[in-house]
Structure formats: C-alpha cells, structure tokens
Structure 1
Amino acid sequence: MLIAQVTDIHLGFDRDDPAEFNRKRLDQVLRHLNNGPNRPDLLIVTGDLTEHGAAASYRQLADAFSICSFPVHMGLGNHDIRSNFTAQFPEVPVADGFVQYALEAGGVRVLMLDTLEEGRHGGAFCDTRAKWLRSTLAQDRNTPTIIAMHHPPVEIGIAWMNTHAEEQWVSNFTRAIEDAPNVKGIICGHVHRSIAVPWQGTSVAICSSTAPQVALDLNPIDPENPDDRPMIVADQPAYALHLWNGRELVSHFDSAGDRAVLAKYDDRLQALIKQLIVERPN
C-alpha cells in the first residue's frame, strides 16, 4: 500500500494570478506522482490548502487535483476556512462541524483530523474532536491505523514553528490515542520541512511543502531583534511517500525537481544487483 502526501500548498498567495508560483509547484508534484515510477494508491493532503481560505483558491485546488489518476483525500490547516472548503468539496465528510473522517484502503485505516482554529497559527484539538477520535479508534482496535493531521504534536526545534508539549490541544490528542495500540504512524505538515520523530510509542513523519520551505535554523529567535536570518527558501517542491509493508509505515521524502542521474540500471550494475538480491532470504 503506497500513500502519497502533499501539504502546505498555499494556493492564492498571489491573489490575482491563477498561474501563481505555488500553483506551478503543486502541478509539478502532481505530474511527478502521476507519471513517475511510484504512482500511489491514494494521496493524502494535510492542510494549508490555500493561503487565505478564499473560495476562488479552493476552485483552483479542485482544478489542480483533477489530473490525479488516484483518489485524493484532503484535510485542513491553519490557513484554511472550513465554510469555503466544504462549499467547494461537499463530498468530504464532516463530523460535528469539523473535517474529520476515516477511510480504509489496502488493509490500513487512515483517520483525517482537523486541527484548525480559525485565526490561530498553531494547532487546536478540542474535546469534541478528541471525543470523535476516541470513539472512532474504539470501533476497531485491530486494523493498522495511520493518523493524518496538519499540525505535528511534537517540538521540532525551529522556535517560531514549534509546538510545545504543554499545549492543551496536544494533551487532548495524546489522551485520545493513548489506548490505541494499532496506531502505526502519524503524518503531518505545517512546518514546511521533512522531519521524523519517535513519539508516544509511534512515529511522527512531517512532510515538507509544495510551497517554498522554511529555512533550517535551530538557534533561538528573538521577537524583539530581527537578525536577518533566512526564513523561507525556494527549494524544490516536496512530497512524501508512505509505504505500508504489512508491518510498519515506511516514510520516504522526495522532491519533484530535476536532478542529474549518475548511474542507471544497465549491464554494468547487473552483477551488483544480483548479489544484493541473492544475499536476502527468500
């Protein structure tokens, strides 16, 4: 089972340009997933679909995803507006007013969570959302389950993007999953960087963005003293591939940009490939 993930698309950053930079970057990733060697079984989109939550941006998003030859399942991030999203995508399930739902494919179950609190940059996960999660997990304690959400519940070391362990929403989420042994992984976005963290007996895989990325600087930041550090960088648009191998969730991070090929599988490499394969048990 191969699950692709894209996140932090931020369509509508350039409000009056339907061919904006962020749309071109998204299109580049979607073409790569459609036409590349690792076509996924489905695509999970973990929020910040738009920059301002504008209705026109969700229409652009629907147009962009129309090329996909695989199912697309979306969740919301802190830049999104629920009412505009649900107006454009009424088929996406809603629970108690939140974009939360379960789907099953390839022997695994994916639970999409809604961590949006409109007007707030950081995450939110109220008692209503936590109750839905506990109830949904309780319905099936056996099927391998992946949780998809926008905000990571872990500190990542970049001060201005951090989630802090003492935040109430993190406690609500932690308690909701603590007796669910079949949660095999949590996939997130928000940080605009690829990060992997062991957490609470499972793993958190944070996918980088199709939009420009956050610069890697782990030094403290002083809100009273701008120091001219790089904040946003235009590395190649990124995505993740999460492979469920029947035992664990294996996360690969890649980009859709051009790259130099230094070796191909030809006669010169055939002997090495044969040796590597024969070394492994049948």
Structure 2
Amino acid sequence: MLIAQITDIHLGFEPDNPAEFNRKRLDQALGCLIGGPNRPDILLATGDLVDRGDVDSYRRLANAFSQCPFPVYPCMGNHDDRASFSAIFPHIPVVDGFVQYVVPLDGLRLIVIDTLEPDRHGGAFCDIRAAWLRARLEEAPATPTIIVMHHPPVEVGIAWMNTHPEEPWVQRFAAAIAGHAQVEALICGHLHRAIVAPWKGTTIAICPSTAPQVSLDLSPIDPEAPDNRPMIIADPPAFAIHRWGEHGLVSHFETADEHVMLAKFDSGMQPLVRALIGERPV
C-alpha cells in the first residue's frame, strides 16, 4: 500500500492571485503523484492547508484536490480554521469541535488528530482530544496504527521552529499513546523539511512542504539579535510516499521538480539488475 503525503500548502498566501505561487507548487506535487510511477492508494494532507483560514482558499484547495483519482484525508494545522474548512469539506468528521477521525485500511488504521489551537503557532492537545485518542487506540489494540497530525511532538534542532519536549501538549499526547504498542509511526508536517526521528518507542516521519521550505540551520538563535540567516528558501515543492507492507512503514521523500536521467533500464543495465536481484534469498 502506498500512502502519499503533502503538507504545509499555505494556499491563499497571495489571496488576490488566482494563479498564486503556492497553487502552482501544489499542482506540481499533485501532478507527480497522479502521473508518476508511484500513484498512491490514498493521500494525506497534513495541515496548514491554507494560509489565512479563509473559505475561498479552502474552495480553491477543494478544486485542486478534485483532480485526484484517490481519496484525500486532511488534518488541521496552525494556519487552518475549522469552521471555514468544514464549510467546504463537510464530509470530514468533526468530533467535540475537533477535526479527528479514523481511516480503516486493509490491516492498518490511520488516526487523524487535531493539534490546532487558534492564535498559537505551536501544537496543542487538550484533555478532550487525548480522551478521544485513547478511546480509539483501545478499540483495536491488535491493529497496526499510524497517527496523522500536523505538529511533530519532538525537538528537531531548528531553534525558531522547535517544539520543547516538556510542553504540556506534548506530555498529554505522549500519555495518550503510552502503552499502545500498535502505534507504528507518527506522520507529521509543520517543519517544511524532511526529518525522521525516534520518539517514545515509535518513529516520527515529517514531510517537507509543497510551499517553500525552511532553511536547515541548527545553530542557536537570539530573538533579540537578527543575524540575517536564511529562514525560508525556494527549494522545490516536495512530498512523501509512505510504503506500508509486511515489514512496517518505509518513508520516501521526493521533490516535484525535473529529474535528469543519467541511466535507464536497458540492455546495458540489465546485467547489474539481474545480479542485484539474484543476490536476494528466494
């Protein structure tokens, strides 16, 4: 099973431009998924779907998703607005005021959770959401489960985007999944970079964005002393392909730009392919 992921679309960053840069980048990524060799079974859109939380941007997002020949499952990010989102995506469940739901697949469950708190850039996860998540995990303790969310609950070293491990929402989320060995992985966005990290006995896979990426700078930052470091960079739009199989989840990250072919599978490469495959046990 192939599970594609896009994240941090930020549609509507240029609200008066119907051909905005972020829409072009989104279409570029979707084009790779739809027309490329790895067409997924489903697509996850992990938050910051739009930039200003407005209904018109969600309407244009729905238009972009309408070209997908596979189901799309979105979640909330800190730039999103639940009411505006639900006005355009009324089929996505809202429970106790939060966009949270379960996607049952063949031998796998996806649990989509809501880490949005209005007017806060970082994540949030209250007692109501935690109780809902615990209940969903208790329903199927033997079924492998992936939790889908916008904010990663891990410190990654990019100082101005970091999540502190002692933030209350992180502690609350960690307690909600503690003891549930079926949680195979967390699939996240928010950081506009490809990052993989171990966390609390599971693995966090963070997808790069379709919108411009965050610069990789792991040095400390002083909020009182601007140092002209790059923060947002014009790297290509990107996406993830998560391959679920009998040995678990394997995550691949890809850019949606042109890839110059240096070799192809022809008769000249055939001996190498035969040899490599021949080394594997039957």
Q: Which TM bucket (shorter chain)? A: over 0.9
Aligned to 1:94: 94
- Distance in 2, matches of 1:242 and 1:143, equals 18
Amino acid at match of 2:196: A
Q: Equivalent residue for 1:182?
A: 182
Counterparts of 2:195 and 2:274 in 1: how far apart (Å)? 33
Aligned to 2:161: 161
Q: C-alpha distance in 2, partners of 1:19/1:178?
A: 45
Structure 1 CA distance for aligned equivalents of residues 246 and 47 of structure 2: 27
Quote the residue 2:32 is aligned against: 32
The 4+ residue runs of structure 1 with deviation greater than 4 A are: none
Q: Distance in 1 between matches of 2:187 and 2:16?
A: 32
Which AA in structure 2 matches 1:107? G
- Give the Cα separation in 1 of the matches to 2:247 and 2:239: 23
TM-score of the superposed pair, with normalisation by structure 1: 0.99
Correspondence for 2:43: 43
Deviation digits for residues 41-60 of structure 1 (CA, Å, limit 9, x no counterpart): 00011000000001000000
Query: Residue 62 of structure 2 corresponds to which residue in structure 1?
Result: 62
Q: Which runs of no fewer than 5 residues in structure 2 stay unpaired?
A: none
TM-score by length of 2: 0.99
What per-residue deviation string (whole Å, max 9, x for no partner) do you get for residues 111-165 of structure 1?
A: 0010000110000000000000000000000111000000000001000000010
Q: How many equivalent residue pairs?
A: 282
Kindly state the Cα deviation for residue 260 of structure 1 after the two structures are TM-superposed: 1.0
Indicate the residue corresponding to 2:122 in structure 1: 122
Match of 1:254 in 2: 254
> Partners of 2:208 and 2:106 in 1: how far apart?
25
Deviations 1:180-239 (A, max 9, x none): 101111010000000000111110000000000000000111111111110100111000
Counterpart-to-counterpart distance in 2, 1:24 and 1:264: 29
Equivalent position of 2:223 in the other structure? 223
| 1:279 match | 279
Gap regions ≥5 residues in structure 1: none
Secondary structure of the 1:184 match is strand
Rounded to whole Å, the distance in 2 between the matches of 1:212 and 1:8 is 9
Measure, in 1, the Cα distance between the counterparts of 2:25 and 2:246. 32
The RMSD of aligned alpha carbons is 0.6
In structure 2, the residue corresponding to 1:136 is in which secondary structure?
A: helix
Percent of aligned positions that are identical? 61
Q: CA deviation at 1:247?
A: 2.4
Which whole-Å CA distance do the structure 2 matches of 1:171 and 1:114 have between them? 16
